[in-house]
Amino acid sequence: LWILKPAGVWTLLRLHIQPVPYNMSCFIVNVSITRFLNYFFCVMLYFFFFNLQHDRAYDTLEFYHRLHIFAENKRTIDHHNAGNHSFTMGLNQFSDMRFEEFRKSFLLTEPQNCSATEGGHVSSAGPYPEFIDWRMKGDYVTPVKSQGHCGSCWTFSTTGCLESVTAIATGKLIPLSEQQLIDCAKDFNNHGCFGGLPSQAFEYIKYNNGLMTEEDYPYKGIFEPALAAAFVRDVVNISSYDEKAMVDAVARLNPVSFAFEVVSDFMHYKEGVYTSTKCKNTADKVNHAVLAVGYGAEENGTPYWIVKNSWGPAWGVDGYFLIERGQNMCGLAACSSYPLPLV
């Protein structure tokens, strides 16, 4: 059997240092060789179903390379979930990738520093609701999309925010074109699949006189001004590190785009309120752009943001995640913005 080939056994044997069971189907008895064999077959079973679920096909060498990485990631997940943390990890479409590989494929690789961003948002005096979720307020948030192997998260944060503010203003929710931003917004310090910022993309849309729909400007489309479906009157930047102003904007106005630093533990996020001591909280470290669609607090009082990601609906909680609010977690308050729609 292929699962008994020496290379496969050696791959897992090298990783076998008191593995933590993933769930009850990976029951481990207190006998060393039995423990190893149980762990070996458990990981192989998970890897088999992972390959089926995500339509993976490897040659022999690549198979064992990915098996080794998968086993390492599963051990990381098991170890984390055995501890006392505010969020849980789980297997997902990235579980056969090392973080460095993931970073190059899905995060901003060009340096992004929004420290020079000037704030323009004017907050009210409050008070604010304890809970806001724009998904529950009406038809204001489009379904989660997937950026694929392209560091274009900034385009999805941009379109997601403009889709929402336009829907709030007009009552019409229209999916907008990320591909147009990838192709055409480079003169505004954006870099296609290698990075950009929503605030800069909003500026492009403003001076370009609009953004086309996803239907009219699909992959490899050509921009036609007459087909522009959403317009930006102005761009509002929120003062750096002012999460209270972010709360004000989300509570009173609309979802807000922001960027933050993704580190290795976020790659495995499954559910709960994400926190990390590995990431920085400075503007020069942000490498991923997303969309805050609401906020709330756990029963234990931990405040959080409700965030729409662009890694597809199979990741996280149907494509969303929660991240701690009020602590500038991973620099999330360093550069947030939203557009004013022209309607």
CA distance 105 to 172: 33
Which residue among 208, 288, 330, 335 is the active-site one?
288
Confidence of residue 200 (pLDDT cuts 50, 70, 90): very high
Set out the domains of the chain in order of their start, with CATH numbers. Answer: 2-84 (no CATH), 100-341 (3.90.70.10)
- Ramachandran class of 175: left when φ > 0, alpha when ψ lies in -120 to 50, beta otherwise: beta
- Tens of pLDDT, residues 120-165: 898 998 899 999 999 999 999 999 999 999 999 999 999 999 999 9
Tell me what pLDDT residue 221 has.
64
| Strand stretches in the chain, DSSP E | 87-89, 132-133, 211-212, 228-230, 232-238, 256-260, 269-274, 288-297, 303-308, 320-324, 336-341
Dihedral (CA of 291, 295, 298, 300) sign: positive
Tell me the pTM: 0.88
Q: Is 288 a catalytic residue?
A: yes
Distance from the first to the final alpha carbon of the chain? 64
- Tens of pLDDT, residues 207-263: 999 999 999 998 766 667 788 899 999 999 998 899 999 999 999 999 999 999 999
Report DSSP state, residue 125.
Answer: -
- Tens of pLDDT, residues 261-291: 999 999 999 999 999 999 999 988 999 999 9
- Tens of pLDDT, residues 83-125: 999 999 999 999 999 999 999 999 998 767 665 456 689 899 8
Task: Look up residue 325 and give its two tokens.
Answer: 């609010």
Q: Is 191 a catalytic residue?
A: no
Q: Is 92 a catalytic residue?
A: no
Which residue among 81, 254, 287, 309 is the active-site one?
309
Which residue among 153, 161, 330, 335 is the active-site one?
153
CA distance 145 to 313: 7
In degrees and rounded to multiples of 5, residue 282 shows phi and psi of: -110, 155
Query: What is the overall mean pLDDT for the chain?
Result: 89
- Ramachandran class of 20: left when φ > 0, alpha when ψ lies in -120 to 50, beta otherwise: beta
Tell me what pLDDT residue 2 has.
43
